[in-house]
Amino acid sequence: MNNVVPFPGEPRNKGGSGDGGGPEDPMLEQRVARLESDLAEIKTLLKGLSNDIKGLVEVFADVKGRLAKMDGELSGIGHRFAALPSTWTMLAIVFTTWALGSGILIFAMNFLKR
């Protein structure tokens, strides 16, 4: 291990022989055990999240289907509104009706005077 350069101010062999034969920290096994339990907890949480995500995918698929249905219905309403007469057409119908009504009334009054 001659190619390892120590940090400045640190002794060359810190409590061990420096040959890599064992851990320098006696608490290493406890730390590894705690990390393993934490990892097991993380795996459990991820499995739960996976199930939640699958549920959300189903909900989003349902929402997507509903939105497609609403889009089709709104498209149909748009075609129905397009088929309605415009404002100018309605005004022409109203004025024509008034003109015809006035003409019939004038004809009736002239016919009855005789």
pLDDT, mean of residues 45-72 = 92
For residues 54 and 15, what is the distance between their CA atoms, to the nearest angstrom? 52
Q: 21 pLDDT exceeds 50?
A: no
Could you give the C-alpha distances from 90 to 82, 100, 102, in angstroms and in order?
A: 14, 15, 18
What pLDDT digit, counting tens, does each position of 23-55 carry? 566 788 888 889 999 999 999 999 999 989 999
Q: 76 pLDDT exceeds 90?
A: no
For residues 25 and 33, what is the distance between their CA atoms, to the nearest angstrom? 14
DSSP 48-102: HHHHHHHHHHHHHHHHHHHHHHHHHHHHHHHHHHHHS--HHHHHHHHHHHHHHHH
pLDDT, mean of residues 64-76 = 88
Per domain, the residue ranges of the chain are 25-83, 85-114
What average pLDDT does the chain have? Answer: 84
